[in-house]
A and B are shown apart, each in its own frame.
Chain A
């Protein structure tokens, strides 16, 4: 099949599947629905694998409706965009498959959950593949509409509804900002196609309108990417969403925010009349640093496992932002590999947490101390996942981290320390929880009722099996995901394809030429995508720091800083700022937008 067919099919297949499921759910029994959903998700994987192999390192384009870019919408996929869509497509069958075991309303509502998952997938695929600014916004909204409903799925508990409403309102608020930004750009240029927007901006000098439009458009993407201080919705939503939804949100949706920022910057704003490279570079490195450090610090403080994993995602997003902000092909390669492997590892860790939730009705690190000793396989996988998160070779997370460190180190020699630190601390936090829960390591922890923290106790099990042993598939799924993460790191073909993709991704002139005139442009010089000795050593270093930190934490549970110590105060203030209060989150969001406006305007 040609790219003109494969690109729109990648969006149309899950859309059709969702409609089909909504109807079939009324007639088919539960098993039939699950087979149908898995079939649709499988068809999407085939479609994207074909696309991925078809466009070997080029930009594949499809003029929808036969209209050229000056009038209509053009889909454009390079290996990075197609790769992200493929990552989503790989996670969805896993999610749909594990959904088999979950309780679901019957009768006329059957099939609604998998149908929404497929709509969510269609939104993410469309966002990753489109070459049009407004169309990207449409798919951003589709992603959101599906994700809010999925987050609030467990309606018997008020917490999921609260999490979903916070998620929905914060994201919608940011989406309005983006729409304003798109309006400003359209008013100036009369264009919505990314490539043509970039061309038209070049005929005008950079002024406040350009800077403001960029900030406003970036707002929605930063909220989706959960960059600090736009991140508050994420831990609240992840703590309450059903486990399969967490796998998709942390594994792929959040990363799409980073992708969107990079894609829109490179195609629209990187040329003359846009935002100077230096301004993007400084601002987003600072934002990434803040996100990576705060995410790691908060991750270490959690005992609610899902919140812990959510903050680890935030910390990693910070690292992705730093690598993307380097604005080099090497940085883009590193991020691409890192995102792919991180998505798989994080999905595996959420799946393992789901096993605990099912078995014990709790995801509390302290409450579960030593309780899961007999779940040895789950425990081993959890620890392996923690080490992978810390960047252990040969996992893809290690390779992505090594490549990003290498690229970042060439600009600022101290930046690799941030990568090592953030990945070590988040890995250590997960490892600590794993050692305590599955091996009962260290003394049992007394709960401190005077401290305001989210415990993670009293959660409802999600699985419908009457016997309390987890289905075998619940351990096979994470094992397969971790295996795929090893493949990302050890199969040179994958990293090489992503490196070729990064060369295309960071070449706006080639993008414009491919979208507007369709020549088969040869990609530029290919960045490296291999392991280096330094990379392996830094990966081992962060893994051993993680192991050391986790062991120390387990041995000596509560570091006894006096309550009035400035560090203890800072941590307490930070924890209190994650108040769950919607008004607080919107105030932080507004503060973030104002700060970005000032930062970008001052540098243009």
Chain B
């Protein structure tokens, strides 16, 4: 197709789809009514399991099997990046150069990094109580580490980033979700059953398996995200194509 024909076909089709979708949306139930069929059931079930954050209860208890499928998507993405961004036969490795950074920026990074790490751990650990959880906290943790790159240089990040350890931790955390599921099967007769003591409502030990699964996901997301970014950063910063060899020191 020529670019023009392609655009014409797409716009015509998109117009039809948009018209249908708009018409479909007018059939939706109106906003602000009292009827929340699933919401009411889920809130009751979450409170019954003494989990204050209902969203976490849905993600890690009531529909924990969805997360069992979502977590390997990230794990698979990391594996896929490992595979696709491996050093090709015609690529050479070169060491990242030290960058000049303003001392104030460096100081800011050095102060912010530990604070961000604490925030990340807090968000993971309080997933069953307040908004947040393993996915969100894991992203914060991964971001914290990359402050080293933003506020200093790639060499600083590499010193802070034990990639082999993170890779193994990523895999083990991914496996532990399934293993907790199996523990529920053995102890409670149903896969991913919440078999741990439920604790006192609105305390950090409440929710049974919810905080444990949250922690597993937190570790997996943090390690996975760091590893994923590491592959991309390595590719852009430390690899040279054969036609760029003049920069390379192999």
Query: Within 8 Å of chain B (Cβ to Cβ): is A603?
Result: no
Query: Within 8 Å of chain B (Cβ to Cβ): is A591?
Result: yes
Binds B, one of A17-25, A43-51, A376-384, A437-445: A17-25
Are A119 and B79 also in contact (CB < 8 A) when A5-B185, A19-B175 are? yes
Asked if residues B45 and A145 are in contact (CB atoms below 8 Å), the reply is no
Q: Which of A560-604 contact B (CB under 8 A)?
A: 577, 579, 581, 583-584, 586-588, 590-591, 593-594, 597-598, 601
Can you pick out 20 interface pairs between chain A and chain B where the beta carbons lie within 8 Å of each other?
Answer: A9-B191, A19-B171, A19-B172, A22-B75, A65-B190, A65-B192, A66-B193, A67-B62, A73-B66, A105-B83, A138-B73, A149-B77, A180-B21, A190-B35, A190-B37, A208-B20, A212-B24, A577-B1, A590-B13, A594-B14
Query: Within 8 Å of chain B (Cβ to Cβ): is A533?
Result: no
Query: Within 8 Å of chain B (Cβ to Cβ): is A507?
Result: no
Q: Which of A60-109 contact B (CB under 8 A)?
A: 62-67, 70-73, 75, 105, 108-109
Q: Which of B57-76 contact A (CB under 8 A)?
A: 61-66, 68-70, 72-73, 75-76
Residues of B within 8 Å of A113, CB to CB, are 83
Which residue from chain B places its CB closest to the CB of A135 in the assembled complex? B66
Q: For B69, give its contact among A16, A142, A212, A594 (CB under 8 Å).
A: A142
Asked if residues A109 and B86 are in contact (CB atoms below 8 Å), the reply is yes
Q: A16-B179, A209-B25 are in contact. List 9 more A-B contacts (CB 8 A).
A: A12-B191, A112-B82, A116-B83, A134-B66, A184-B24, A191-B37, A581-B1, A594-B12, A597-B17
Distance, CA A119 to CA B77, complexed state (A): 10
Residues of A within 8 Å of B81, CB to CB, are 149
Residue-wise interface mask of A (268-295) relative to B, using a CB-CB cutoff of 8 A (1 in contact, 0 not): 0000000000000000000000000000
Q: For B191, give its contact among A65, A190, A212 (CB under 8 Å).
A: A65
**A541 to B: closest C-beta gap in Å:** 39
Are A209 and B37 also in contact (CB < 8 A) when A19-B174, A119-B75, A145-B77 are? no
Query: Within 8 Å of chain A (Cβ to Cβ): is B199?
Result: no
**A363 to B: closest C-beta gap in Å:** 22
Residues of A within 8 Å of B65, CB to CB, are 8, 64-65, 72-73, 75, 135
Asked if residues A209 and B178 are in contact (CB atoms below 8 Å), the reply is no
Are A209 and B28 also in contact (CB < 8 A) when A19-B174, A590-B17, A594-B17 are? yes
Distance, CA A116 to CA B193, complexed state (A): 27
Query: Within 8 Å of chain A (Cβ to Cβ): is B159?
Result: no
Distance, CA A339 to CA B77, complexed state (A): 29
Give the 4 A-B residue pairs with the shortest CB-CB distance, closest first: A149-B80, A190-B37, A8-B191, A19-B175
Residue-wise interface mask of A (505-532) relative to B, using a CB-CB cutoff of 8 A (1 in contact, 0 not): 0000000000000000000000000000
Query: Within 8 Å of chain A (Cβ to Cβ): is B184?
Result: yes
List residues of chain B with CB under 8 Å of any chain A CB.
1, 3, 6-7, 9-10, 12-14, 16-17, 20-21, 23-25, 27-29, 35-39, 41-42, 45, 61-66, 68-70, 72-73, 75-77, 79-84, 86, 88-90, 164, 167-168, 170-172, 174-175, 178-179, 181-182, 184-185, 188-194
Asked if residues B171 and A65 are in contact (CB atoms below 8 Å), the reply is no
Residues of A within 8 Å of B83, CB to CB, are 105, 109, 112-113, 116, 149, 153
How many residues of chain A have a CB within 8 Å of chain B?
85
**B77 to A: closest C-beta gap in Å:** 6
Residues of A within 8 Å of B184, CB to CB, are 65
Q: Which of A1-55 contact B (CB under 8 A)?
A: 4-5, 7-9, 11-12, 15-16, 18-20, 22-23, 26
Residues of B within 8 Å of A207, CB to CB, are 27
Distance, CA A25 to CA B82, complexed state (A): 13
Q: For A23, give its contact among B171, B179, B181 (CB under 8 Å).
A: B171
Residues of A within 8 Å of B79, CB to CB, are 18, 22, 112, 115-116, 119, 149
Residues of A within 8 Å of B178, CB to CB, are 12, 15-16, 19
Residues of B within 8 Å of A593, CB to CB, are 13, 17
Asked if residues B82 and A71 are in contact (CB atoms below 8 Å), the reply is no
Q: For A71, give its contact among B42, B75, B90, B192 (CB under 8 Å).
A: B42
Distance, CA A142 to CA B73, complexed state (A): 5
Asked if residues A15 and B72 are in contact (CB atoms below 8 Å), the reply is yes
Query: Within 8 Å of chain B (Cβ to Cβ): is A156?
Result: yes
Asked if residues B76 and A26 are in contact (CB atoms below 8 Å), the reply is no
Residue-wise interface mask of A (152-173) relative to B, using a CB-CB cutoff of 8 A (1 in contact, 0 not): 1101100001001000000000
Are A138 and B70 also in contact (CB < 8 A) when A115-B79, A145-B76, A597-B17 are? yes
Q: For A63, give its contact among B70, B182, B190 (CB under 8 Å).
A: B190
Asked if residues A590 and B14 are in contact (CB atoms below 8 Å), the reply is yes
Asked if residues A156 and B80 are in contact (CB atoms below 8 Å), the reply is no
Q: For B185, give its contact among A8, A116, A187 (CB under 8 Å).
A: A8
